[in-house]
Chains A and B, each alone.
Chain A
Amino acid sequence: MSIIKVEKLTKIYKSHISKPGVLSTIKSIIKPNYVTVKALKEISFSVTKGEMVAYVGPNGAGKTTTSKILSGILYPTSGRVSVMGYIPWKRENNYLSQITFIMGQKTQLWWDIAPMETFLLNKSIYKISESDFEKTLDELTTLLDVKDLVHIPVRKLSLGERMKMELISSLLHKPKVLFLDEPTIGLDLLSQEAIRKFILEYNKSYNATIILTSHYIKDIEIADRIILLYRGEIIFDGNKEEILERFIKKRLVTVTFNTMPEIAKIPYNIISREGQTIEVEIEHKEISKFISFVFKSFDVKDVKNQDMNLEDAIKEGFKNASLY
Chain B
Amino acid sequence: MRPYIKIIDNIFKESVEYRLNHILSFIVIALPLIIIYFLWNTIFYGKNLVGGYDKPAIVTYYILAILLQDFVYPGVNYEISRDIREGTLSNYLIKPINYMGVQFSIKTGASIPYSIVAIVITLIFVFFMRSTIVFQINIFLLLLFLLSVILAFILAFLISYSFSLLFFWLERTNSIELLLNAVLPLSMGMILPLSFFPHSLEILLDFLPFKYLLNFPIDIYLAHLKIERVIQGMGIQVIWIIIFFILSLWLWKKGTKKYQAYGG
Contacts and interface: CB of A to CB of B under 8 A. Distances in A.
A121 B3 contact: yes
B96 A106 contact: no
Given A99-B94, A125-B3, 6 more contacts: A16-B171, A73-B259, A97-B96, A101-B94, A106-B90, A127-B2
A73 B264 CA distance: 12
Nearest to B90: A73
A23 B17 CA distance: 47
A93 B88 contact: no
A132 to B, nearest CB: 15
Interface in A58-83: 64, 68, 71-75
A1 B147 CA distance: 56
A113 B14 contact: yes
Given A68-B90, A73-B259, A74-B259, A125 B17 contact: no
20 contacts: A13-B260, A18-B171, A68-B261, A73-B94, A74-B261, A75-B256, A75-B259, A96-B94, A96-B96, A101-B94, A106-B88, A106-B90, A108-B91, A117-B10, A117-B13, A121-B7, A121-B10, A124-B2, A125-B97, A127-B2
A74 B2 CA distance: 27
B13 A106 contact: no
Interface string B77-109: 000000000011011011111000000000000
A279 B72 CA distance: 81
A103 interface: yes
Contact of B14 (A108, A110, A126): A110
Contacts of A117: 9-10, 13
Nearest to B98: A93
Interface string A88-127: 0001011011011101011010101100011011101111
Interface residues of A, number: 36
Given A106-B87, A113-B13, A72 B94 contact: yes
A112 B261 CA distance: 23
B6 A124 contact: yes
A119 to B, nearest CB: 10
Interface of A: 13, 16, 18, 64, 68, 71-75, 91, 93-94, 96-97, 99-101, 103, 105-106, 108, 110, 112-113, 117-118, 120-122, 124-127, 153, 181
B93 A113 contact: no
Contacts of B18: 112
B93 A73 contact: yes
Given A75-B257, A97-B96, A103 B264 contact: yes
Contact of B264 (A96, A153, A181): A181
B10 A113 contact: yes
A100 B94 CA distance: 7
Interface in B250-264: 256-257, 259-261, 263-264
Contacts of A121: 3, 6-7, 10
B235 to A, nearest CB: 34
